C-alpha cells in the first residue's frame, strides 16, 4: 500500500499536464464541436447571448422554451430545479442547448455540483456553451481539480476554448498552485489571440499574483496595451493587491499614484494591503482622503485595526460607521466582535448585539460564533450560553467556541456536556474541539479523563495531535504534580518539543518546587530561545521561592548580560463604555495618584482579612518593603483600584490581563471580592478567574 495516498490528485494533474501540449497541438487547426466531421463555426452574437448553438432555434421563437428558461432562472432551490428538469424531459426538450446550459448554470449557483455534472454527462451535444457553464460553475464552487479536468475533456472533444473559458480555468490553476500549467495556458492564450481581452488579461495577472509570481504579473501588465490599462481599473487593483501581498509597498504606491482613474475598489485594495503590512498610519491617511466610502472601506479599516492589535480604535471606527448610516456586513460585525473579545469590551459587545436585535439581523454561523466568543471572552459565560442555545445554525466552529468558553471559565462539566450534545447532533469533533476538552480537563485536574480524550482523538477519530495537544497533556500532568510522568511524556513525543511545551513543564516545576527538574528544563529552554525572558523569570522565581538568593542574583545578572528584558504586564478594563489600559508600574494615567491611594486602601483592608503580600513572586533579593512596592504596581491591581473608584456598588468588575496572574494578585483579588461584595472576573493568558465572596472559581488550582 502506498505510503502517501493523498498524492493521487497531484498525480492525476501531472498526467493531465503531460498530455496537455499534445491536446493543444491537435487543436491548433480549426476545431470541431461534438462531431468530428463538422467544422467549428463561431456562433452568432445572438446565439452567444442566450447560450444556444447554431443548430438550435432561438428560445425567443419557441414560447415553451422561453417559459422554461424563465422558470429555471427564477429557481431558488435544487428541488425546484429538479422538478422543472423533469418537466423538460417529459416534453422532450432535453436536446435544447439553451435549456441545458441554463440548468447547469443554475444548479452550480445553488452549489449542487453533482447535479450539474449529471446534467452535463447526460447531454449528447457537449457544445462550447455547456463546457463554459460547467467550468465556470466548478471554479466558482472551488472544484478546481474537476474544472481543469473538464477543460482537458473539452480539448479532447475538439471544442475550442474562447475568451469566456480561460478566465475560469486560470482561476482553477491558481487555486491548485500549478505554476507550470499556468505558463502553458498563457502560451495557449497568446496562440489563440485572446490575450488582449480585458477579462482574460485581468485573469492572467490575477493567476500570477495568486501563484506569487510577481515578475510575470508585472510583465503581463507592462506589456498590456494602453487601451487595457485605461479601460480596466480592475487590472490595476489586482496588481496593487499582489504587490501588497508580497510586501512590495513601494511598487504598490507607485502603481496607485499612476492609475489613470481610481474607484472605491482601488482605495480599498491598497488600504487593505497597507493594513496587512502593518502600515496603519498610511492606511488611515488614505482612508481619510477617500471622498466616498462604502461598507467594504469601513470593514477594511475595522478588520485591519483589529488584526494589528489596535482594538479600541477598531471599535471606535465601527461605531462611527454606524453613525454615518452605513449597514455593516457579516465581516464588519465579526471583526468588531473580535475586537471586543480581545480587550474584554463587554459593553461595546452588548451594543453590537443590540444592533442585531434592533435591526432584525439573523444570526448565521459566522456571526453567532463571533457573538458567543465575545461573551465568553468578556467574562459573561451565561450570555454566551444563551446566544448559543438560540442559534439554529450550528457548525463545528460554533460548538468549539462554546466548549472553549466553558473550558476557560473552569466549568469542565458543562464543557463535557456540550461536547456530548455536539456528538448527538451528528457533528464529528476536530482537532480544535479536542484542544478545548484537554484545556477543560487541565484546569479542573481531571487527568485521567484528559488522557482518555487524548487517546480517543488519535485512535477513535484518527486526528494527529499537534504540538498544542502535546503541550496541553504536559500541562495536564504537570499541574497535578505528576512531574515524572510529564517528563517521560515530553521525552517520548514523536515531534521535538518546542519552547512552549518545555515551558508548561517548567511552570509545573515552579508550582511544585521541584528545583532539580526546573534546572534541567531551564537548560532546554535557554538552548531553544536564549533571548526569551520567560525561562529566566521562571527560574529566578523558582530560586526565590526556596530562598536561594545567590542563584536569583546570578539569573538576574545573566538576563542583563544577555540583554533580555521582561515583557511588561498590562491589563484592560472597561468602565462606562470606555476601555482603560494599565501597564505594570504605570504612573502615566491622569488619575495615577488617586489610583495608588485607592490601592493602598484595598491592601490595608485585605491585611485585616489576613492577606500578606507574597513577596516570593518578586524577581530578585531586595528589601521586603521594596518587594511589596514592586507587587503593588502589577497592572491588574491598578485596574482593580480604578474600577472600584469609578463603578457603583454591586457592579461586576471584569479585567483582562496579557500574562498569567501571579499568586499575590490572586490572593488580593479574593480578599477584595469579599470586602467590596463584588464579583471580580479576571481573564489571564491561561483562563478565567471568578472571584466572589473571597473564593476563586479555580479552587486555587491554576
pLDDT at residue 625, rounded to an integer: 36
- In the predicted structure, residue 113 carries a pLDDT above the cut 70: yes
By C-alpha distance, which of 591, 689, 586, 581 is closest to 646?
591
d(Cα 687, Cα 88) in Å, to the nearest integer? 61
Q: Determine the average pLDDT of the residues in 143-157.
A: 94
pLDDT at residue 395, rounded to an integer: 94
pLDDT in tens, 252-311: 999 999 999 999 999 999 999 999 999 999 999 999 999 999 999 999 999 999 999 999
| CATH code for the part of the protein at 466-562 | 1.25.40.10
Q: Determine the average pLDDT of the residues in 207-212.
A: 94
pLDDT at residue 535, rounded to an integer: 65
Report the predicted TM-score, pTM, of the whole model to 2 decimal places: 0.79
d(Cα 68, Cα 88) in Å, to the nearest integer? 8
Complete edge-to-edge strand list for the sheet that includes strand 578-583: 578-583, 570-575, 653-657, 680-683, 688-692, 695-696
- In the predicted structure, residue 362 carries a pLDDT above the cut 50: yes
d(Cα 62, Cα 226) in Å, to the nearest integer? 44
pLDDT in tens, 505-547: 988 988 888 988 988 898 888 888 876 776 677 677 767 766 7
- In the predicted structure, residue 168 carries a pLDDT above the cut 60: yes
* Position 407 confidence tier, pLDDT thresholds 50, 70, 90: very high
289-295 LR contacts (CB < 8 Å, sep 24+): 290/264, 292/264, 293/264, 293/326, 294/264, 294/268, 294/326, 295/321, 295/326, 295/327, 295/328, 295/329, 295/332
pLDDT in tens, 324-344: 999 999 999 999 999 999 999
CA angle at 82 for the pair 80 and 84, rounded to the nearest 5°: 70
**pLDDT, mean over the chain:** 86
How many Cα atoms are found within 13 Å in the side-chain-facing hemisphere of 490? 26
Please name the residues in contact with 372: beta carbons below 8 A apart, sequence gap of 6 or more: 384, 387, 388, 391, 398, 401, 402, 405
The C-alpha cell at 324 is 454615518
Q: Determine the average pLDDT of the residues in 408-426.
A: 95
Residue 520, classed as helix, strand or coil, is helix
Contact 150, 135 (CB under 8 A): yes
pLDDT at residue 536, rounded to an integer: 72
- In the predicted structure, residue 190 carries a pLDDT above the cut 50: yes
Range with the poorest average pLDDT among 261-270, 556-565, 665-674, 689-698:
556-565
pLDDT at residue 660, rounded to an integer: 87
**Domain residue spans of the chain:** 304-393, 466-562, 570-696
Higher pLDDT, 555 or 76: 76
Q: Residue written as cell 454606524?
A: 322
Amino acid at each position: 500500500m502506498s505510503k502517501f495516498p493523498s498524492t493521487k490528485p497531484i498525480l492525476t494533474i501531472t498526467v493531465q499536464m503531460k498530455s496537455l501540449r499534445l491536446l493543444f497541438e491537435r487543436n491548433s487547426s480549426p476545431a470541431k464541436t461534438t462531431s468530428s466531421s463538422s467544422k467549428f463555426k463561431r456562433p452568432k452574437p445572438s446565439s452567444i447571448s442566450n447560450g444556444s448553438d447554431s443548430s438550435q432555434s432561438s428560445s425567443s421563437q419557441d414560447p415553451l422554451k422561453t417559459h422554461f428558461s424563465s422558470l429555471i432562472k427564477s429557481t431558488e432551490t435544487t428541488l425546484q430545479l429538479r422538478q422543472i428538469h423533469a418537466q423538460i424531459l417529459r416534453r422532450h426538450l432535453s436536446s435544447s442547448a439553451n435549456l441545458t446550459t441554463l440548468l447547469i448554470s443554475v444548479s452550480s449557483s445553488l452549489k449542487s455540483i453533482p447535479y450539474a455534472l449529471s446534467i452535463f454527462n447526460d447531454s449528447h451535444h457537449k457544445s462550447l456553451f455547456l463546457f463554459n457553464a460547467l467550468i465556470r460553475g466548478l471554479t466558482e464552487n472551488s472544484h478546481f481539480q474537476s474544472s481543469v479536468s473538464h477543460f482537458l475533456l473539452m480539448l479532447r472533444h475538439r471544442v475550442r476554448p474562447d475568451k469566456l473559458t480561460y478566465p475560469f480555468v486560470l482561476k482553477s490553476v491558481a487555486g491548485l498552485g500549478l505554476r507550470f500549467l499556468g505558463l502553458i495556458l498563457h502560451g495557449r492564450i497568446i496562440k489563440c489571440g485572446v490575450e488582449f481581452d480585458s477579462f482574460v488579461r485581468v485573469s492572467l495577472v490575477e493567476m500570477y499574483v495568486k501563484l506569487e509570481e510577481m515578475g510575470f504579473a508585472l510583465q503581463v501588465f507592462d506589456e498590456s496595451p494602453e487601451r487595457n490599462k485605461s479601460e480596466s481599473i480592475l487590472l490595476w487593483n489586482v496588481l496593487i493587491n499582489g504587490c501588497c501581498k508580497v510586501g512590495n509597498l513601494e511598487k504598490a504606491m507607485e502603481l496607485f499614484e499612476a492609475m489613470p482613474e481610481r474607484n472605491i475598489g482601488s482605495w480599498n485594495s491598497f488600504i487593505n494591503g497597507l493594513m496587512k503590512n502593518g502600515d496603519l498610519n498610511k492606511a488611515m491617511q488614505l482612508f481619510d482622503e477617500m471622498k466616498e466610502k462604502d461598507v467594504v472601506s469601513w470593514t477594511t479599516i475595522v478588520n485591519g485595526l483589529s488584526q494589528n492589535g489596535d482594538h479600541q480604535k477598531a471599535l471606535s471606527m465601527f461605531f462611527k460607521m454606524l453613525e454615518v448610516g452605513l449597514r455593516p456586513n457579516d465581516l464588519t460585525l465579526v471583526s468588531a466582535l473580535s475586537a471586543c473579545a480581545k480587550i474584554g469590551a463587554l459593553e461595546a459587545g452588548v451594543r453590537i448585539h443590540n444592533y442585531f436585535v434592533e435591526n432584525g439581523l439573523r444570526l448565521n454561523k459566522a456571526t453567532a460564533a463571533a457573538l458567543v466568543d465575545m461573551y465568553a471572552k468578556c467574562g459573561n459565560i451565561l450570555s454566551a450560553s444563551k446566544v448559543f442555545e438560540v442559534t439554529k445554525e450550528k457548525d463545528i466552529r460554533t460548538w468549539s467556541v462554546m466548549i472553549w468558553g466553558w473550558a476557560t471559565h473552569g466549568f469542565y462539566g458543562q464543557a463535557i456536556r456540550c461536547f456530548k450534545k455536539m456528538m448527538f447532533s451528528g457533528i464529528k469533533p476536530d482537532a480544535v474541539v479536542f484542544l478545548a476538552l484537554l484545556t477543560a480537563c487541565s484546569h479542573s485536574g481531571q487527568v485521567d479523563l484528559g488522557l482518555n480524550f487524548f487517546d480517543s482523538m488519535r485512535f477513535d477519530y484518527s486526528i494527529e495531535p499537534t504540538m498544542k495537544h502535546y503541550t496541553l497533556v504536559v500541562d495536564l500532568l504537570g499541574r497535578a504534580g505528576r512531574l515524572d510522568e510529564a517528563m517521560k511524556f515530553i521525552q517520548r513525543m514523536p515531534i521535538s518539543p518546542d519552547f512552549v511545551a518545555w515551558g508548561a513543564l517548567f511552570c509545573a516545576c515552579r508550582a511544585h518546587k521541584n528545583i532539580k527538574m526546573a534546572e534541567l528544563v531551564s537548560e532546554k529552554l535557554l538552548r531553544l530561545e536564549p533571548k526569551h525572558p520567560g525561562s529566566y523569570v521562571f527560574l529566578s522565581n523558582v530560586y526565590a521561592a526556596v530562598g536561594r538568593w545567590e542563584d536569583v542574583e546570578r539569573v538576574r545578572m545573566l538576563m542583563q548580560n544577555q540583554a533580555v528584558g521582561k515583557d511588561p504586564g498590562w491589563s484592560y478594563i472597561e468602565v462606562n463604555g470606555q476601555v482603560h489600559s494599565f501597564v505594570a508600574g504605570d504612573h502615566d494615567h491622569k488619575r495615577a495618584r488617586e489610583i495608588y491611594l485607592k490601592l493602598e486602601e484595598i491592601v490595608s483592608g485585605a491585611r485585616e482579612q489576613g492577606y500578606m503580600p507574597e513577596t516570593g513572586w518578586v524577581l530578585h533579593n531586595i528589601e521586603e518593603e521594596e518587594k511589596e512596592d514592586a507587587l503593588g504596581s502589577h497592572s491588574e491591581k491598578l485596574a482593580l483600584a480604578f474600577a472600584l473608584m469609578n463603578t457603583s456598588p454591586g457592579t461586576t468588575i471584569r479585567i483582562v490581563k496579557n500574562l498569567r496572574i501571579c499568586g499575590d494578585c490572586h490572593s488580593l483579588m479574593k480578599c477584595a471580592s469579599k470586602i467590596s461584595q463584588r464579583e471580580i472576573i479576571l481573564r489571564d493568558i491561561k483562563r478565567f478567574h471568578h472571584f466572589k465572596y473571597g473564593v476563586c472559581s479555580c479552587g486555587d488550582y491554576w
